[in-house]
Amino acid sequence: MRLDWEIAKRGWRRYAAYPWATAAGVFTNTIFGLLQAYILIAVYRHRTNVGGFDAADAVTYVWLAQSMIMTVYVFGWWELALRIRDGSIATDLLRPLDPQRYWLAYDLGRAPYHFLFRGLPPFALGALIFRLHFPSPLDALAFLLSLVLAVLVSFGFRFIYNSAAFWLIDVRGVITLATTIVVFFSGMAIPLRFFPHVLREVCYALPFGSIIQTPVDVWLGKREGFALVGVLALQAAWALALLGLGRLVLRGATRKLVVQGG
Amino acid sequence: MIEVEQLSKRFVVRRGRFRRERHVVQAVDGISFRVERGELLGYLGPNGAGKSTTIKMLTGILVPSAGRVSVAGLDPSRRRLELARRIGAMFGQRVQLWWDLPLLDSFELLRHVYKVPTDRYRTNLARFREVLELDPFIQTPVRQLSLGQRIRGELTAAMLHGPELLFLDEPTIGLDVVAKQRVREFLVEINRRDGVTVMLTTHDLGDIERLCDRLLVIDHGSLIWDGAIDQLKERYGEERTLIVDLEEPAAPLAVDGARVERVDGPRQWLRFRGSASELASRVAAATRIVDLQVQEPDIEEIVRRIYSQGV
Amino acid sequence: MVEPILVWRRLVGAQIRSQLQYRASFTLDVLGSFWISFVDFLVVLTIFHNVSRLNTWTVHEVALLYALSSITFAVTDLLIGHLDQFPQKIRDGSFDVVLVRPRGTLFQIVASDFATRRAAKALQGGIVLVYALGGVTIHWNVWRVLVLLASLPSAVVIFASVWVMGACIAFWTTDGGEFTNAFTYGGTSMAQYPFDVYARWLRRFLGYFVPLAFVCYFPVLYVLGKRDPLGLPRVLDFASPAVALAAACVAGSVWRFAVRHYRSAGG
């Protein structure tokens, strides 16, 4: 437990060490938030409701999504793949420390940093410029829980696609494709509620919907009572499933390394 | 070839993360020296002494704060492009070749960058391929080369356009003994045969012993030694060591003009100045000796002494 | 003048040859590049699944904007996209190597890489262009052809100028690279949609000051013969080449200033 805490601190520190990078990131998030907000506002000139979102919901969604990007780490995360590529993973596997647990602890140290320093600032800026929806206290708590679960689901997925580096020499293409899938099917690029009905439901069922759209829905109060419990349970289920799948992948990779060598 | 007069470089360094405090660092403080054509000289100094900064000013990368510098008759910071054609530079820790391309492709590109006439390029390339044994890996992408192979490639790249002057920044760093030897032989050859002036900065004292006729030592921005290696040894290598093997272990010898540094069974290490033979006869008079040797001072010790004491 | 182009062409040839050697990873790279940019168009389609017009613009008209912005940005990305790694070059001292060679610094940086896979982004733009042209009626005349043709290199130059200026940040702080992304990737995203959806202050900042409105909005208005919802002077439709030229001059000056700073303040 103590070790996990130390690793988490390392994760935090790795990103806290570059304040200018964080500032630059906040700026970029803000710009993209502005662009997306105005585009969606233009959509709502022609309609009042799209898939359950009204204009205020949509604009809030924009700033929530931008704030969540780094916390949940939607765009390509490479660190594990790099370690595998340069061979240091071999020494990691020799240590009495489970790699998945290590990287999970690391990610859980990183996420709070991004939540505070890449998440709050853009949202605050968005709230200054636009009128955003704020949740009831219960919904706010549920949102935080949903956010944590989203980080877990995202981590589970990222761990798996980074592990491709055990088998492929050049993982850039895989990571780009994985990122594309997450960006589109999580509701990051556009709310899932804008999708045609069937596609929307499929995305909600897949782990990707749990990464962005579900927390947003919770914040906006679109999920109440049993429905709320249901989506949180689905997030938790996917988190467990992906982590479990990651363990299998790791076992396969370890076996490959031992048999074939790096 | 190189003329440096009261050369200085001042940096404003800012510490801290967001709000940074100003801090002036005098990296190079009024150094002066001359290098004639055909010399092979070493440039030594502890980390942060100002070595890299000097080289950067000589190659035109950095503009001096004060002083005058002339390389091949040109002012490096003003006539950078012109000077670039006549010098070659190799920075041991930085890659100047194209990472994803085969070595040969990098050479071809450099040929065009430097506008080297085809026949001269071919001759040079053939020669370096032979001397540095590049053929086994000349088609391999640079990112897949071992350090030793990459360094050999980088050296070739630096010399392809036939420069008169070559700057090397830590060329043998990280190399194994065999590779170091190859690099050193190459440098000696281009210096003796082609008359290329070579200036190298290094932490490797083996490089200095084997390559350099002359040594410049810089510390805290000032030049604390400029002269031949032998002179350095003479000036600072005052103390030598006489290793004496006695017939049987004994107490540390008390001999005039020598001080026992170490005792290990029958062997004793004596530090002394002046004549070795005189000391030997004094020791022989005092006790029974089985064997003795004289140990010359090595550069490492000398340089360490210079660093810690100053001039 | 011709000479640098020969050097650059050699690099391109060598890179293409080298990258095609690793066919499996190249294919994956190309697929990745294709899809990550095509997603933006899927977003456009999703929007128009829910509305029939965005302000006064139909899906095909927006597709045209998207296609032109996307293709020109892809070309720029192909030529100088590696500027995103420029902070790393400064950090590890590789820029010094550039200063020791007898060529202009910007030219060397531009000619240091060529990532063939990025051509896939232009391909997806091309697909969207075909779709767009299938749904709009354009009354072609000489002027419209000229304006459209002139807008393409102008757009590339404008994007390139923004990118180069952004890269200069690396000379002062190597961690601030992402600032540039807001203008390069943000810029192309902005240009993919009708300019009139954005609020006035944003239009001023990201459309005129950073002259992204001239990338395709004005030329497309002219080519489509569409009435400008913002009611701006028509002469702006022809301004792209002039704006591109001005942007290039500014970018060149900023770069030269930045290199001068690097050479006096130390690597």
- B166 bridge partner residues: B88, B198
Is the pLDDT higher at B240 or at B168? B168
Residues B104 and B176 in one domain: yes
From B216, B234, B252, give the residue that closes a domain.
Answer: B234
Residues of B at the C interface, defined by Cβ within 8 angstroms = 9, 11-12, 27, 53, 56, 59-63, 77, 80-82, 84-85, 87, 89, 91, 93-96, 98, 100-102, 105, 108-109, 112-115, 141
* Co-location of B52 and B201 in the same domain: yes
Residue B22 scores a pLDDT above 80? no
Of B196, B189, B178, give the one whose Cα is nearest residue B128. Answer: B189
User: Locate tokens 């210096």: which residue?
Assistant: B191
Interface subset of C 221-250, CB within 8 angstroms of A: none
Is residue B16's pLDDT more than 80?
no
Judge if B208 and B259 occupy the same domain.
no
Identify the H or E element spanning A110: helix A99-114
DSSP state string for C165-196: HHHGGGGT-TTTTHHHHHHHHHHHHHHTS-GG
In a domain, residue B74? The reply is: no
For residue B185, tell me if it sits in a domain. Answer: yes
Q: How many helices (H) and strands (E) does chain C have?
A: 12, 0
Instruction: Tell me what pLDDT residue C228 has.
Output: 86
User: Residues near B212 by Cβ (< 8 Å), separated by ≥ 6?
Assistant: B40, B41, B42, B200, B229
CA distance linking residue A28 with residue C184, whole number of Å: 10
Cα-to-chain-centroid distance, residue C173: 24
- Nearest chain A alpha carbon to C166: A24
The reported pLDDT for the residue numbered C2 is 65
Which chain C residues in 55-114 lie under 8 Å from chain A, judged by CB atoms? 55
What are the structure tokens assigned to A190, written together? 């556009």
Which residue is associated with the tokens 């182009």? C5
Give the whole-angstrom CA distance, residue B249 versus residue A56.
95
Q: Which residues of chain A have pLDDT under 70?
A: 258-262
Question: Total domain count for chain C?
Answer: 1
- Smallest CA–CA distance, residue C173 to chain B, in Å, is 11
Q: Which of B209, B234, B259 is the last residue of a domain?
A: B234
SS3 label, residue B263: strand
**CB of B262 within 8 A of CB of B269?**
yes
User: Which parts of chain C have pLDDT scores under 50?
Assistant: none
Q: Mean of the per-residue pLDDT values for chain A?
A: 91
CA distance B131 to B152: 10
Return the closest-CA partner of residue C193 out of A34, B122, B45: A34
Domain holding B304: CATH number?
3.30.70
**Which of C156, C146, C145 is closest to C244 using CA atoms?**
C156
Q: Are residues B50 and B199 in the same domain?
A: yes
Helix residue ranges, H only, chain B = 51-59, 80-86, 103-114, 118-131, 147-159, 177-192, 205-211, 229-236, 276-286, 299-309
Flag if B63 and C14 touch (Cβ within 8 Å). no
Q: Report the pLDDT averaged over residues B255-276.
A: 82
CA distance C141 to C251: 34
Q: Which domain holds residue C158?
A: 2-265
pLDDT computed for residue A262 by the predictor: 46
Write out the DSSP string of C54-87: BTTB-HHHHHHHHHHHHHHHHHHHHHHGGGGGHH
Single residue among B210, B234, B258 that ends a domain in this structure? B234
Q: Answer yes or no: is B9 within a domain.
A: no
**φ, ψ (nearest 5 deg) of residue A171:** -95, 5
B25 found inside a domain: no
Please give the pLDDT value at position A249.
92
Domain containing B255 equals 239-309
The chains found to touch A (3+ Cβ pairs under 8 angstroms) are: C
Query: What does the pLDDT read at residue C205?
Result: 92
In the 8-state DSSP scheme, what is residue C226? Answer: -
Predicted confidence band at B86 (pLDDT cuts at 50, 70, 90)?
very high
**What pLDDT is recorded for position B243?**
86
Instruction: Give the pLDDT confidence score for residue A71 in this predicted structure.
Output: 94
- Give me the total of CB pairs closer than 8 Å, taking one residue from chain B and one from chain C: 82
Nearest CA in chain C to A129: C199
Proportion of chain B above pLDDT 70, given as a percent: 92
DSSP character string of B103-134: HHHHHHHHHHHHT--HHHHHHHHHHHHHHTT-
Residue B46: pLDDT over 80 = no
Supply B145's token pair.
């080369």
Q: How far is Cα A172 from Cα A161, in angstroms, rounded to an integer?
A: 11
Amino acid identity at C206: L
Does B77 contact C93 at a Cβ distance shorter than 8 Å?
no
Would you state the structure tokens that stand for residue B225, as one six-digit string? 């030694």
- ipTM at complex level: 0.91
CB of C65 closer than 8 Å to CB of C222: no
Q: Which of B134, B203, B145 lies closest to B169, judged by CA? A: B203
B282 occurs within a structural domain: yes
pLDDT band at B310 (very low <50, low <70, confident <90, very high): low
Residue C224 contacts residue C164 (beta carbons within 8 Å): no
Same domain, B157 and B229: yes
Residue B3 covered by a domain = no
Q: Are residues B86 and B157 in the same domain?
A: yes
Same domain as B294, residue B154? no
Inter-chain residue contact C103 with B81, CB threshold 8 Å: yes
DSSP secondary structure of B140-152 = SBGGGS-HHHHHH
Structural domain total, chain B: 2
